[in-house]
């Protein structure tokens, strides 16, 4: 049987690993040696589960979307990660990692952020635990994501601008890595998706796997069977998709569909469709698929959705793509925006634009009337209101 999980060396097939500068080795090695035993410790699990319940508000509902189902003549369920505290799935991971950091005796947290969603989720859990928080963010992103910068500041985090290169996410990541090298003993680096050197992709996937763990018993309750026919999720770095797919990976009767942001069109030069356009390479410490020029320079991604605007994809997804375990679908800005509006008007739910990419798959694929299709609604649309206003001239 094929293996869709990580192997002992930290690889998914040929993707993954830990391609890091020598000076980062002790930090990553400490985490690699301890993350599984920490996560399996009963006292860790007790605190993690308690916080997911009372602080995040889990389990998130699995909602049968009746009117959406009628429109597409199939059975559609929405996994409501949009109802989590802070408005998306990202907090599942930051709660987990802050508890790991505490167990390792760390006193200081650093993070990188692009649009600011992961920065806010990190600042939130640092406030919760009373731990110092430093968030690196590109200077350009600071200017265009002012509300999230304000949120982080209110939550007590220090936001440090990255002023080199393109002044966006990849430069913020470089600054965070530099900080970690300089503060190896007291600092933990909270990465926001299933990316980065091993063990991050596996650790983050495990924290997000609560999503598919809940889906299984919720489907059993509502449909009398644990497995859906399809699970659909959007992919930026890939953490909400990894969580939604996790407990179905080995069961090939469950079809997995990953929606990637095609921006203004896959071949428009303004896109973030990593699997369609990506080539084998190394980014942020792992071997994966990424958008690059022939001589290996990273191509700046584009998507109307800030959270999908990443030039690579986590190594698990590179492997799911290459092994054809998951079906990768490209969704343009226009298709996503239309699908988001459809959800608003049929179900009274305003989705994050990232999640609208997953919803747009309903227009591209045909499902049978008896199929059970679960769509991971990764986040709510409040943060995207300005983009919706400008796009629809509201
Ligand atoms: C950040 C974000 C994403 C993309 O990140 P993944 O790691 O691919 O899940 C998707 N949806 C929402 C709502 C987000 O905030």
What is the tens place of the pLDDT at every residue in 248-265?
999 999 999 999 999 999
Partners of 79 in the beta sheet?
62, 376
Q: 205-215 burial by CB neighbour count: b if 16+ within 10 A, else e?
A: bbbbbbbbebb
In short, whether 234's Cβ falls inside 6 Å of ligand 1 is yes
Domain map (residue ranges) of the chain? 11-51+90-204, 57-88+209-392
- Does pTM surpass 0.95? yes
- Please say whether the dihedral angle defined by the alpha carbons of residues 287, 141, 244 and 356, taken in this order, is positive or negative: negative
Mean pLDDT of 123-150: 95
pLDDT in tens, 315-361: 999 999 999 999 999 999 999 999 999 999 999 999 999 999 999 99
Cα-to-centroid distance, 152 and ligand 1 (Å): 18
**Class (C level, CATH) for 11-51+90-204:** alpha beta
C-beta separation of 376 from 352 below 8 A: no
Token pair recorded at residue 78: 């929405």
Q: Which helix (H) or strand (E) holds 334?
A: helix 333-347
In short, whether 378's Cβ falls inside 6 Å of ligand 1 is yes
**Class (C level, CATH) for 57-88+209-392:** alpha beta
pLDDT in tens, 157-213: 999 999 998 888 888 999 999 999 999 899 999 999 999 999 999 999 999 999 999
Where are the extended beta strands (E) located within the chain?
Answer: 11-12, 15-16, 62-64, 75-80, 108-113, 132-138, 158-162, 187-190, 230-234, 255-263, 279-283, 286-290, 326-332, 372-377
Cα-to-centroid distance, 240 and ligand 1 (Å): 6
Could you give the angle at which helices 25-40 and 42-51 cross, rounded to 10 degrees? 80
Which is the catalytic residue, given 69, 356, 378, 383?
378
Give me the pLDDT at residue 309, please.
83
- Catalytic annotation on 112? yes
3-class SS shares of the chain: helix, strand, coil, % to 5: 50, 20, 30
For 196-235, give the DSSP string.
SSTTHHHHHHHHHTHHHHHHHHHHHHHHS-S--SEEEEE-
In short, whether 88's Cβ falls inside 6 Å of ligand 1 is yes
Partners of 372 in the beta sheet?
75
| Matching fold, domains 11-51+90-204 and 57-88+209-392 | yes
Residue nearest to atom 2 of ligand 1 (CA): 307
């Amino acid at each position: 049987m094929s293996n869709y999980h990580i192997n002992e060396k930290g690889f998914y097939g040929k993707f993954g690993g830990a391609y890091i500068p020598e000076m980062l080795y002790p930090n990553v090695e400490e985490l690699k040696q301890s993350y599984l035993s920490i996560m399996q410790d009963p006292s860790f699990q007790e605190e993690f589960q308690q916080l997911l319940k009372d602080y995040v508000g889990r389990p998130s509902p699995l909602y049968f979307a009746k009117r959406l189902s009628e429109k597409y003549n199939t059975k559609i369920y929405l996994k409501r990660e949009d109802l989590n505290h802070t408005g998306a799935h990202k907090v599942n991971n930051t709660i987990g990692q802050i508890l790991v950091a505490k167990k390792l005796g760390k006193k200081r947290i650093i993070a990188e952020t692009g649009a600011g969603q992961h920065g806010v989720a990190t600042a939130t859990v640092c406030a919760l635990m009373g731990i110092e928080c430093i968030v690196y963010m590109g200077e350009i992103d600071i200017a265009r994501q002012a509300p999230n910068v304000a949120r982080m500041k209110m939550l007590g985090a220090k936001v440090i601008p990255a002023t080199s290169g393109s002044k966006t996410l990849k430069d913020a990541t470089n600054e965070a890595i530099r900080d970690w090298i300089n503060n190896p003993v007291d600092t933990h680096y909270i990465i926001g998706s299933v990316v980065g050197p091993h063990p991050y992709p596996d650790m983050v996937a495990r924290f997000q796997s609560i999503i598919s763990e809940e889906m299984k018993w919720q489907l059993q309750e509502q449909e009398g069977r644990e497995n859906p026919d399809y699970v659909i999720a959007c992919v930026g770095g890939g953490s909400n998709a990894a969580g939604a797919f996790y407990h179905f990976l080995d069961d090939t009767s469950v079809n997995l569909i990953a929606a990637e942001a095609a921006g203004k069109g896959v071949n428009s030069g303004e896109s973030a469709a990593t699997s369609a356009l990506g080539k084998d390479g190394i980014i942020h410490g792992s071997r994966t698929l990424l958008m690059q020029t022939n001589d290996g320079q990273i191509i700046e991604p584009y998507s109307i959705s800030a959270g999908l605007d990443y030039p690579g994809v986590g190594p698990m997804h590179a492997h799911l793509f290459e092994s054809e375990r998951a079906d990768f679908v490209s969704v343009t800005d226009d298709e996503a925006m239309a699908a988001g509006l459809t959800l608003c008007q049929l179900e009274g739910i305003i989705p994050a634009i990232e999640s609208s990419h997953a919803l747009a798959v309903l227009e591209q694929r045909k499902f049978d009337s008896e199929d059970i299709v679960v769509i991971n609604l990764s986040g709510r649309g409040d943060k995207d209101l300005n983009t919706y206003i400008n796009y629809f001239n509201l």
